[in-house]
Structure 1
Amino acid sequence: METATVHLLAPTPPPSSSARRREELRAQLAGRTASLIGSAASLATSIPNLTLYRYTAPSVPDWVSYEPSIALVVQGKKRVILGGTHFDYGPSRFLLTSLDLPVTSQVIGASPEAPYLCLRLKLDIAVVGELLSRDPDPAPWPRKSEPAMATAETTAELLDAFCRLMDLHHAPQDIGFMSGLIQREIIYRILQSAEGQRLRAIATLGDSNQRTARAIEWIREHYTQPLRMETLARIACRGVSTLHHHFRALTSMTPLQYQKQLRLYEARRRMLVDGLDAASAAFEVGYESASQFNREYCRVFGQPPMRDVRALRVVGEGA
């Protein structure tokens, strides 16, 4: 007589107290975010540097520029593409951006029942440097340059700090004093993480990443001008080939590709917002040839400039 073998499944262990605490704080923050933003797609809050976002459906890819910031998603999921690198993040991981970077951004998890909710806090690099100057035991420098964008674990301590920052909306008289203190705490929490080394390296004078950051800043301020690598190398105080290597490591792009992205994004904005035609927008952002602008625009955005802008306006009217 055959006997049946019964395989007993081990019971699923209950979530740890730390995991429960994170979920409680995430739920609180999601509720406060949803209440404050209402039905809007975005809201620049009364708290300096803090903007809220809400989507009720996945979005189409959008080409935007991210400044140094932390993006904390409390519901839903998002994907950001820097060069050829994908960064997916949601409630369990936040996105840290340490430099001004042109990226492709797309909400990939959202619904009317569970909207995508995100808090984006712009980081003051001067404050980062101030906190680092007080560190009696600085962490060792990274051995190599890494992208100036990363995802990191969302901890209970970080969520708690954001909850207290959001609570200031109920005590507006405290915003002027308390928001700066809490934002300093948030930056401190980021710097203590492994991924915070990217921010640490860029904010500290003398490090190779910081010197490359100076070259990136110069391109942003002079993107309409012709780009000469020898000039850029002098600004960064390094050789052309070394700068090229570190630049690509930080941004996932070459300096020329970076400048091109900035020009195309700005031309798109001027056509959409200021009503410029394609040729005028091209010349204002530094192109000398309208045909070259059209070719590169199609390559990045998938269709000719004015057709793309008309499509964007239709989407905006239907939002």
Structure 2
Amino acid sequence: MTVGGRTLNYNPATYFVMSVDLPAVGNVFPDNVTNAPYLAVSLTPKPEIIADLLDKIPGTGDASLYHSGFSVAPVTRELLDAWIRMLTLIRKPDEIAALAPAYEREILFRVLQGPLGWMLREIATPETHLARIYKVINWIKTNYTQAIRVEDLAEMAALSVSAFHRHFRAITALSPVQYQKQIRLMHARLKLATSGENIMNVALSVGYQSHTQFSREYARQFGLPPSADLKKISLSHTRN
């Protein structure tokens, strides 16, 4: 999976934590031995549960080992067991209300105990640099069509411009402008694939004023210009 400017590999023996919403592009490599389909599960943590757990457990991972909003770690037997119990509830819907909250809490507890626990800790701690950058990222996601000034974003994060740049890039592997660009392009690709709008209208709708710039940056991001990529997507849908 490519997240920001970093490429990370993960497999059935690992799990990942994404502490901020980052643009990501992934490839799935099938298991040539079992031919089993790709299956993934995810959990969006509730900060209040994390905060409560933090009052009850010791260390939560070493932040010096990881430097971004996305990291991978080996899965433990205890974490896997908690997930299995959670997923088994699909077959027992009458038990979900009673047991799912406890299993969710255990999953978060196991992650907090592991090497990526610091990432959850920072989500639940309002004054950390991660929490401040998270606030800015949410603003960019909501207002991605607007022009941005780094000075305004730094003020929103209550950081100097230089400190804001440094922490934003450390967490996302992107500059704020690059992050906004990737968000725009992700939305544009989704619109091209689903809306039926022409390419220029899609470019305008996500904040671009220049068709040439849009096509150039789209091709750099996805490997094909918008028109060729749209044909590829349409052909894929036809085959399926």
Q: TM-score, normalised by structure 1?
A: 0.70
CA contact (8 A) 1:264 1:297 kept: yes
Structure 1 segments unaligned to the other structure (5+ residues) = 1-79
Which of 234, 237, 240 in structure 2 is aligned with 1:313? 234
Pair 156,112 (structure 1): closer, same or farther in 2 beyond 3 Å:
closer
Say if 2:29 is the partner of 1:108: yes
Query: Aligned residue for 1:71?
Result: none
CA contact (8 A) 1:191 1:197 kept: yes
Greater shift after overlay, 187-196 or 137-146? 137-146
Query: Aligned residue for 1:179?
Result: 100
How far 1:312 moved relative to its partner? 1.1
Query: Aligned residue for 1:203?
Result: 124
Say if 2:209 is the partner of 1:288: yes
| Greater fraction strand | 1
1:161 maps to amino acid: A
Q: How does 1:49-88 map to 2 (within 5 A)?
A: 80-88=1-9
CA contact (8 A) 1:132 1:138 kept: no
User: What is the alpha-carbon distance in structure 1 between the residues aligned to residue 57 and residue 34 of structure 2?
Assistant: 48
Pair 127,121 (structure 1): closer, same or farther in 2 beyond 3 Å:
farther
User: What is the alpha-carbon distance in structure 2 between the residues aligned to residue 170 and residue 152 of structure 1?
Assistant: 29
Query: Aligned residue for 1:245?
Result: 166
Which of 42, 45, 56 in structure 2 is aligned with 1:135? 56
TM-superposition CA deviations, 1:78-134 (whole Å, max 9, x none): xx1123322111122112211101012001243483224333213134345433453
Query: Aligned residue for 1:268?
Result: 189
Query: Aligned residue for 2:200?
Result: 279
CA contact (8 A) 1:132 1:200 kept: no
Greater shift after overlay, 121-130 or 208-217? 121-130
SS in 1 for 2:235: helix
Query: Aligned residue for 2:113?
Result: 192
| Greater fraction helix | 2
1:310 maps to amino acid: K
Query: Aligned residue for 1:225?
Result: 146
TM-superposition CA deviations, 1:226-285 (whole Å, max 9, x none): 011111011100011111111111011111110000000101101111111111111111
SS in 1 for 2:63: coil
Structure 2 segments unaligned to the other structure (5+ residues) = none
Q: Would you say how many aligned residue pairs link Structure 1 and Structure 2?
A: 240
Query: Aligned residue for 1:254?
Result: 175
Relative contact order: is structure 1 or structure 2 higher (C-alpha 8 Å, sep ≥ 6)?
2
2:155 maps to amino acid: R
User: What is the alpha-carbon distance in structure 2 between the residues aligned to residue 154 and residue 136 of structure 1?
Assistant: 19
Say if 2:73 is the partner of 1:147: no
